[in-house]
Amino acid sequence: MTGGPLRGGPGEMDTAWEVIVVGGGAAGLMAAAAAAARGRRTLLLEKNKKFGVKILMSGGTRCNLTHHASPREVADQFRGAARFLYKAIGQLPPQAVVDLIEAEGVPTKVEATGKVFPVSDRAIDVRDALVRRAERAGAVLVSGVAVKGIARDEIGFRCLVEGGKFTAASLILCTGGKSYPGCGTTGDGYPWAVGLGHTIQPLHPALTPLLSDEAWVHELSGLTLPLVGCRVPFAAERSPVVSRRGALLFTHTGISGPEPMNVSRYYTASQCLAQPWLQIDFLPERTKDSLVADLRQAAGTQGRMAIGNWLERELPERLAGALLERSGLPRGQRLAELPHAQLYALLANLKECPVRITGTKGFDKAEVTAGGIALTEVNPQTMESRLVPGLYLAGEILDVDGPIGGFNFQAAFSTGTLAGRHA
Ligand X SMILES: Cc1cc2nc3c(=O)[nH]c(=O)nc-3n(C[C@H](O)[C@H](O)[C@H](O)COP(=O)(O)OP(=O)(O)OC[C@H]3O[C@@H](n4cnc5c(N)ncnc54)[C@H](O)[C@@H]3O)c2cc1C
Q: Rounded distance, CA 410 to CA 418, Å?
A: 12
Q: Rounded distance, CA 87 to CA 71, Å?
A: 9
162 versus 285: smaller Cβ distance to ligand X: 162
47 versus 351: smaller Cβ distance to ligand X: 47
Alpha helices, DSSP H only, in 161-271? Answer: 189-195, 215-219, 258-268
Q: Segment 128-157, which members bind ligand X (CB under 6 A)? A: 146-147
251 versus 408: smaller Cβ distance to ligand X: 408
Q: Can residue 259 be called a binding residue for ligand X (CB under 6 A)? A: no
Q: Report the nearest approach of ligand X to the CB of residue 2 (Å).
A: 13
Task: Give the type of residue at 18.
Answer: E
Q: Segment 260-289, which members bind ligand X (CB under 6 A)? A: none
Would you tell me how many other CB atoms lie within 10 Å of the CB of residue 246? Answer: 21
Binding letters toward ligand X, positions 9-48, x by CB under 6 A: -------------xxxxxxx----------------xxxx
Query: Which residues, in sequence order, are bridge partners of residue 204?
Result: 370
Task: Give the CB-nearest residue to ligand X.
Answer: 25
Q: Report the nearest approach of ligand X to the CB of residue 39 (Å).
A: 23
- The single residue among 20, 34, 35, 64 that binds ligand X, judged by CB under 6 A, is 64
Q: Segment 384-423, which members bind ligand X (CB under 6 A)? A: 395-396, 406-409, 412
Which one of 58-66, 331-339, 340-348, 383-391 is the stretch in contact with ligand X (CB under 6 A)?
A: 58-66
- The single residue among 281, 367, 384, 399 that binds ligand X, judged by CB under 6 A, is 367
Q: What is the DSSP string of 227-290?
A: EEEEE--S-SSSSS--EEEEEEEE-SSEEESHHHHHHHHHHHSGGGTT--EEEEES-TTS-HHH
Report the candidate in 71, 73, 104 with the shortest Cα–Cα distance to residue 89: 71
Q: Can residue 54 be called a binding residue for ligand X (CB under 6 A)? A: yes
Q: Can residue 345 be called a binding residue for ligand X (CB under 6 A)? A: no
Q: Rounded distance, CA 402 to CA 283, Å?
A: 25
Would you tell me how many other CB atoms lie within 10 Å of the CB of residue 7? Answer: 9
Contact call for residues 234 and 278 (beta carbons, < 8 A) = no
Q: Rounded distance, CA 356 to CA 359, Å?
A: 9
Contact call for residues 52 and 133 (beta carbons, < 8 A) = no
Which one of 99-107, 170-178, 193-201, 300-308 is the stretch in contact with ligand X (CB under 6 A)?
A: 170-178
Which one of 11-19, 52-60, 303-311, 376-384 is the stretch in contact with ligand X (CB under 6 A)?
A: 52-60
Binding site for ligand X (CB under 6 A): 22-28, 45-48, 53-54, 57-59, 63-64, 146-147, 174-176, 180, 184-185, 188, 367-368, 395-396, 406-409, 412
